[in-house]
Amino acid sequence: MDVDYANKLVGQSVPRTEDLALLTGTARYIDDIRMPGMIYAKVLRSTHAHAHFKLDVSRARTMPGVLGVLTGAELVGKVKPWGDLMQDLLVGDHFAFAIDKVCYEGQEIAAVVAETKYQAMDALEAIDIEYDPLPVVLEADKAILPDAPLLHPNFNYEFGEGNIFDRYRVRIGDIERAEAEADLVVRQRFSSNRQAGAALDPHGCVASYDSFSGMLTLYSSTQSLFMVRDVLADSLQLARNRVRVVAPEVGAGFGSKAQVFAHEVIASIFSLQTGRPVHLVLSRAEVFRVGTARNGQIRHVEMFFKKDGKITGYRDYVIQNSGGSSYWGNQVVHIGTNVGMLPYPVPNIHIDGDIVHTNTAPGGALRGFGIPQINWAKEQLMDIAASELGLDPAHIRDINIVRGDQCPLVTPFGQKVDTTSIDSCLAKAVEVIGWHDKRANKRPYEGVGMSLGMKYTSCRHPSFDTDLSAIRLRLETDGTVTIFSSDVNHGQGHATFLAQIVSDVLGVGFEKIVLAPPDSSNAPFGLGTYASRAAAVLGTACRMAAERLREKIVAIAAHVLEVDAGDLEAGGDRIYVKGLSNTGLYLENLAGYSVYRTHQLPPGFEPTLEATATYDTPTDREAPDGSGNFSVTYAGGCHIAHVRVDPGTGHITILDYVMVHDTGTVINPLIVEGQHQGGFLMGLGMAFGEDYVYDSEGHLLTATFAEYKAPLATDVPELHHLFEIPAPSTTIPGGQKGAGESGTGPVCAALGNAVAHATGVRFTTLPITADRMLLALREKERSGLEIFRYPDDMPDYDGPRGYEDWPKPTGGEGEMFF
């Protein structure tokens, strides 16, 4: 009998291999690591947002159990600063500790290592510190004012000055002409909130230096082994092959663990000094303060339309709050803005950006990477324009989007959209929610709103000219396969979906494939897991490696069986002659030949069965005018929300939420569904509750899960209206697109539009909390305005209410940035 091995695993909802350990509590996270002789470090953090300080650590050094104390001053000249990823330039504005001035609450000032955690905490209390407070600046539009307190007076930025550490500029087409010829101009200032990654597994590490081998091993809850390794080794001036970074189970990151952190450097120094393993895991309050937050943006957006609803131009001045320091901050503006313009191929684009430091939590990467912020502005303006032109919001979108049958298409902004089904996604979502009926028969305090978004699938960052990942595979001598990768799984299901790919290509049983724990000392070089890149970029490397490995295996089989390699097929854990699937040679035997019976190998065959592949996406660098195709392919989707607002309390209930996505070829529907649900949840938190709230002195008031209003399970609607309309990528060999972030981008705007439809209140700031909603409803009644903008139309609002009061970009019209 001939078995059909063509029944492939790619495309099937294979239950996640990872889940058993997660659900039974046997997974080991960073705080579960125990090593012989392990000692504990704790960090003294600034209680001021902006201050000079003086330090005396002499008492702490004599406290019981204390093995070491570190301060910034003593590391100057010994440890190298590292820094913001600027265009082509690394600004060394990150250091293990503040030296004599702090720029945000929570910044590292000193650290102690002791035999126990509690001794370390006691010793921290014995550090004498005197602050000399400085005025603080907490908001982005205040930070650019000439009299604003200066955070980093000693840094020279290539494209900025003062608190502006970088600028952004896009010049596509002729915006003046678009404006002059427009039938309709809509303008609005939108601001967005700061949001935490809020991964339940906190940031932390265990550093272990072995003085015999001279090897420093860092176990860290990180998304990127090699980024951490290279920066850490550089900072400590160690050879990179003597620094090994290993990730335990990582309980999510969402972008917030995609960089090196001071605590990783501090723990490493302590371990180098003491020769003992050093545990340094951050508390929740520390994670909120220094674990990086979404960059807040103020966008002054103008859009130009023709009568029929066609978009002719987009102008924007964005001021981004990247906090006291920011590794990824400027990239968020560049990439988020570029990709965030989709799915509209707008012909004339004019954007200026000032990217600033404020005395608030560091701005980092976070799910969506700038796209939720621009989507919040642009997709609400689409609704405003539709209403001005008397068009249905679905129609105005439909006539402007990139359509599947136009692909491949290059937009004026330079994006090469290889495939998309965004037009079908829109149509499907409209149908499922009953859009036309709900718009026509509106009920009091109920409304529907939509948003379209496209999301990059991985990305060539302007600051690094690379977008690669790699896989090494080894066919073991019992016919099992080991996958080596440095791209850390933190919820994406690497062990599952990579095994699906390998199983299909090699014909090896799914259960025989194991993903080795991520370890920089044995895994091939890759950039890490972020930017929705796992399935597309790592998955492609995996497919390439598997194909290379298969070629080698088949070569041995052809030699032993004395047949032509072209006549052989893989399946059922063996290599067989086409049509004879119950004969052939088991992979186990072939692997055995490859290492134990090398005389059986074809002449010249290099023994062992391993294959490595690295995939670097065919993407562009950013051009001086801001254009370029940074992403290998684009996922996307249409979200429609149906909400009800309680006019007595301002509480908003989501009655229904439809998501229709294009994720290309779906490797594992179960995983992709989970990603979309999680992506939605993150968008929901940003829309309705999560925020970094500061007092006037820059103290964070929301540094606990009690105060920080992340959504609870009870706040999440049934997400049963979740659909995929795959438009397989033609650039990625397997057709897959990124799934991790496309669920987040459209949520805020979809909910904002639904709230506006329900109540006539147009939110221009986030989050839309019950208190804001209720006060807006009351004020709307009092004012008699038919459309009421919150907060722009509130009596006590002190920001710019209209276009006339908008600030102008600070950069002037000089050189282009690149």
Residues that bind another protein (CB under 8 A): 118, 121, 648-651, 689, 706, 709, 711-712, 714-715, 769-772, 774-775, 778
Query: What is the smallest separation between the CB atom of 504 and another protein, expressed in angstroms?
Result: 44
515: Cα within 13 Å, side-chain hemisphere: 26
Say how far apart CA 222 and CA 256 lie, in whole Å.
9
Residues 6+ apart with CB under 8 A from 195: 293, 294, 366, 682, 685, 686, 690, 691, 692
Residue closer to another protein, measured from CB, 18 or 779: 779
Residue closer to another protein, measured from CB, 459 or 686: 686
Residue closer to another protein, measured from CB, 115 or 715: 715
Query: What is the smallest separation between the CB atom of 772 and another protein, expressed in angstroms?
Result: 7
Tell me which DSSP letter residue 270 carries: H
Is residue 712 classed as helix, strand or coil in its secondary structure? Answer: coil
Query: What is the smallest separation between the CB atom of 290 and another protein, expressed in angstroms?
Result: 17
User: 559, exposed or middle or buried, with CB in 10 Å at 0-12, 13-18, 19+?
Assistant: middle
Residue closer to another protein, measured from CB, 72 or 683: 683
Nearest Cα neighbor of 294 from 767, 799, 818 is: 767
Residue closer to another protein, measured from CB, 555 or 775: 775
Residue closer to another protein, measured from CB, 146 or 795: 795
In sequence order, what are the beta bridge partners of 656?
Answer: 642
Residue closer to another protein, measured from CB, 200 or 706: 706
Query: What is the smallest separation between the CB atom of 194 and another protein, expressed in angstroms?
Result: 18
Residue closer to another protein, measured from CB, 522 or 704: 704
Nearest Cα neighbor of 757 from 449, 527, 491 is: 449
Nearest Cα neighbor of 531 from 749, 249, 331 is: 331
Q: What is 47-106 written as a DSSP string?
A: SSSSEEEEEE-HHHHTSTTEEEEEEHHHHBTTB--EEEE-SS-EEEEE-SS-SSEE-STT
**Could you tell me the two tokens for 470?**
């790699």
Report the run of H or E that residue 778 belongs to, with start and end. Answer: helix 770-783
Say how far apart CA 145 and CA 162 lie, in whole Å.
9
Query: What is the smallest separation between the CB atom of 712 and another protein, expressed in angstroms?
Result: 5
Query: What is the smallest separation between the CB atom of 121 and another protein, expressed in angstroms?
Result: 7
Q: Are 361 and 327 in contact (CB under 8 A)?
A: no
In sequence order, what are the beta bridge partners of 700?
Answer: 694
Residue closer to another protein, measured from CB, 709 or 801: 709
Query: What is the smallest separation between the CB atom of 790 and another protein, expressed in angstroms?
Result: 11
Query: What is the smallest separation between the CB atom of 775 and another protein, expressed in angstroms?
Result: 6
Nearest Cα neighbor of 373 from 191, 222, 195, 550 is: 191
Say how far apart CA 489 and CA 485 lie, in whole Å.
10
- The CA-to-CA distance between both ends of the chain, in Å, stands at 63
Query: What is the smallest separation between the CB atom of 649 and another protein, expressed in angstroms?
Result: 5
Query: What is the smallest separation between the CB atom of 796 and another protein, expressed in angstroms?
Result: 9
Residue closer to another protein, measured from CB, 577 or 693: 693
Residue closer to another protein, measured from CB, 121 or 410: 121
Q: Tell me if the bond preceding 791 is cis, omega within 30° of 0.
A: yes
Residue type at 43? V
Residue type at 289? R
Query: Rounded to the nearest 5°, which phi and psi values hold at 474?
Result: -135, 125
Q: Are 80 and 94 in contact (CB under 8 A)?
A: no
Query: What is the smallest separation between the CB atom of 767 and another protein, expressed in angstroms?
Result: 11
